[in-house]
Amino acid sequence: MNYRQLSPPDYLKNHIRFFWTLESDDSAVFTRSFRTMAEGCPGLIFQSPDKGPMYQFDKKLPHIFIYGQSTRHADIQFGAVFSTIGVCFFPNAIKAIFGFDAYELTDDCTCLDLIARKDGFLLSEQLLETESLADRIEVLCAYLFFKLQKNTRYEDETMQFAITRIVQSKGNISLKELQDYLQLSERSFERRFKQYVGISPKLYSRISRFQAVLNQLRLGQHDRLTDLAYENDYADQSHFIRSFKEFAGCSPLQYQKQSMQQVENFYEKVV
């Protein structure tokens, strides 16, 4: 399995964290099953139709789709041979790029071709006319930039500030103090946050804390799992493990055992 992570062009760097590609190797024989984790970011996936479809919970997925915030782990199945391009957006990118409320796609996805056709783009056809992954990424960049220029009125610096503060605090900021600083009522803050991020500020904070722990596990920045729990303000180790399983679909210890096989927020299930 070959994985690459690529930086976006400068004109998209405020909305896209990174592009990624995932391709099967020549030795692939059987269907592959992967598990995604709650990462606090929406995204886009294109799977070349000639490489076989993707399935989630036995539901066939479109060849190209955008997905919203995930509040839990999920399983995706690929055929034996696959060639996939992904986009990891920043948390508020769905609203900023596509113009609709982010909560409409929470724990869900929609075919991007249906949106692109309304804009006069035959996106899948254009992607299939190119031969290299790099050229396909250029096609995606051109369309996403077109959408950004069209929807500039949906930028919200207040929500961008709130997201940044939550991430910087690793999910441990006082939301009451944050909303007071922004001079918003609790109701207005929650409503606008859901419009731009897709989930409540409280749930986003929990996922941000989980992601902070996940990054420490990846980097080996701990001696014991108990230390991670207390460093990240979990009440106790059992609470930490329950929360980790909710978002990752496995325990921290199981995650460590599979760490050699995973890409960011995406790991192959070992049967």
pLDDT band at 48 (very low <50, low <70, confident <90, very high): confident
Structural domain contains residue 231: no
pLDDT band at 120 (very low <50, low <70, confident <90, very high): very high
Q: Per-residue DSSP letters for 62-88?
A: PSEEEE---SS-EEEEE-SS-EEEEEE
Q: Which residues of 179-198 are buried (b: 16+ CB within 10 A; e: fewer)?
A: beebebeeeebbebbbbbbb
Structural domain contains residue 173: no
Over 90: is that where the pLDDT of 104 sits?
yes
Over 70: is that where the pLDDT of 29 sits?
no
Structural domain contains residue 226: no
Return the CATH number at 128.
Answer: 2.60.120
123-172 residue pLDDT tens: 999 999 998 889 999 999 999 999 999 988 888 999 999 999 999 999 99
Residue range(s) defining the domain that contains residue 78: 2-152
Structural domain contains residue 244: no
Structural domain contains residue 139: yes
pTM above the 0.75 mark? yes
Domain count within the chain: 1
User: If phi over 0 gives left and psi between -120 and 50 gives alpha, with beta otherwise, what is residue 220?
Assistant: left
Structural domain contains residue 52: yes
Structural domain contains residue 159: no
Structural domain contains residue 260: no
